C-alpha cells in the first residue's frame, strides 16, 4: 500500500508543481517564468520526487511510464492497475488544489485551458492532430529510453533522478508549443476534468500517444540491451 500512496503523492506534486507553474507563474506580470520556467518546474517535480519516493515505489508518476516499464520487464503486471489508479487520483487531487488556489484571483477563467493538452485550435502553436500524436509518441518513447537507461544496474548509481528530471525538462522545452506537453495521461486527465469541454473531448489523444510511445521506448531499449555484449 505504501507504493500506491507514494505514487499518489508524487503525481499530486507533479501536477501541482508543473501545471501550477503554467497556470500561476508562466505569464505573471513582468516576472513571468515563461516556457523555460514551466519546463524546469516539470523536471524539478520528477527530480525531487525521484529522490523522495524512488526507493518506495520507483517514482513512476505516470501511467505511460508504468506500462513502459512493464513491457520493458522492470515492473510486474499485477501492480499496473493500482499504480495507474493512484497516479490518476493524485493528478486529479493536484489539479483540484491548483484550481482552489488559482480561482482565488480576480479574473481567473478556465477558458484559458488550465494547462490542458490539446491539438488543432487548442494546441499552443496550432499544430495538427497528426503532429501532436507524433510528437507525444516520440517524446514519451525517448523518456522511457532515458528512464530505463538511467536506472539500469550498470548506470552510475545515484544519478538517475537527475537524468530523468533533466530529460523531462528537455521534452517540455521541445514540445510545449506543440501539445502543451503531456507524455503523461495522469497529468492530462487531472487538469482536463476541470477545464472540461474540448479538453475532455481531446483527452483520448493524451492517453493513446504516451502509452504507445512508452511501449516503443521500452522495446527499443530492450533491443539495445539484448545486443550489448556487456549486459548481464
The reported pLDDT for the residue numbered 101 is: 95
User: What's the pLDDT band for 91 if we cut at 50, 70, 90?
Assistant: very high
Task: Kindly report the backbone phi and psi dihedral angles of residue 59, in degrees, each rounded to the nearest multiple of 5, phi listed first.
Answer: 55, 60
User: What's the pLDDT band for 29 if we cut at 50, 70, 90?
Assistant: low
Query: Per-residue DSSP letters for 148-192?
Result: HHHTSTTSPTT-HHHHHHHHHHHHHHHHHHHHS--S-HHHHHHHH
Query: What's the number of CA atoms in the CB half-sphere (13 Å) around residue 71?
Result: 22
Q: Is residue 159 within 8 Å of 166, Cβ to Cβ? A: no
Q: Which residue has the cell 505573471?
A: 28
The CA distance from 140 to 98, in Å, is: 25
Among residues 80, 41, 84, the alpha carbon closest in space to that of 62 is found at 84
Mean pLDDT of the chain: 93
The reported pLDDT for the residue numbered 32 is: 73
pLDDT tens-place string over residues 123-182: 999 999 999 999 999 999 999 999 999 999 888 888 999 999 999 999 999 999 999 999
The CA distance from 46 to 35, in Å, is: 17
CA angle (131 as vertex; 183, 128 as ends), nearest 5:
115
Domains, the chain, with CATH or none: 2-226 (1.20.1080.10)
The reported pLDDT for the residue numbered 194 is: 94
- Which residues, 6 or more positions from 35, have their beta carbon under 8 angstroms from its beta carbon? 26, 172, 173, 176, 177
Burial of 31 (0-12, 13-18, 19+ CB in 10 A): exposed
The reported pLDDT for the residue numbered 174 is: 96
pLDDT tens-place string over residues 206-223: 999 999 999 999 999 999
The reported pLDDT for the residue numbered 154 is: 86
Grid cell listed for 16: 501541482
Amino acid at each position: 500500500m505504501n507504493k500506491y500512496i507514494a505514487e499518489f503523492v508524487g503525481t499530486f506534486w507533479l501536477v501541482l508543481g508543473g501545471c501550477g507553474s503554467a497556470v500561476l507563474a508562466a505569464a505573471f506580470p513582468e516576472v513571468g517564468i515563461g516556457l523555460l520556467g514551466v519546463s524546469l518546474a516539470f523536471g524539478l517535480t520528477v527530480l525531487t520526487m525521484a529522490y523522495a519516493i524512488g526507493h518506495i515505489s520507483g517514482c513512476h508518476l505516470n501511467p505511460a511510464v508504468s506500462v513502459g516499464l512493464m513491457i520493458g520487464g522492470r515492473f510486474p503486471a499485477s501492480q499496473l492497475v493500482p499504480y495507474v489508479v493512484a497516479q490518476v487520483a493524485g493528478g486529479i487531487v493536484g489539479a483540484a488544489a491548483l484550481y482552489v488556489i488559482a480561482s482565488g484571483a480576480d479574473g481567473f477563467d478556465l477558458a484559458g485551458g488550465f494547462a490542458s493538452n490539446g491539438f488543432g485550435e487548442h494546441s499552443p502553436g496550432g499544430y495538427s492532430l497528426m503532429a501532436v500524436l507524433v510528437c507525444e509518441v516520440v517524446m514519451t518513447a525517448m523518456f522511457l529510453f532515458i528512464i530505463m537507461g538511467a536506472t539500469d544496474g550498470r548506470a552510475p548509481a545515484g544519478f538517475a533522478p537527475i537524468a530523468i528530471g533533466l530529460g523531462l525538462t528537455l521534452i517540455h522545452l521541445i514540445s510545449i508549443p506543440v501539445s502543451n506537453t503531456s507524455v503523461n495521461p495522469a497529468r492530462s486527465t487531472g487538469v482536463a476534468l476541470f477545464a472540461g469541454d474540448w479538453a475532455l473531448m481531446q483527452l483520448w489523444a493524451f492517453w493513446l500517444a504516451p502509452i504507445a510511445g512508452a511501449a516503443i521506448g521500452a522495446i527499443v531499449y530492450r533491443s539495445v540491451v539484448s545486443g550489448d555484449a556487456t549486459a548481464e
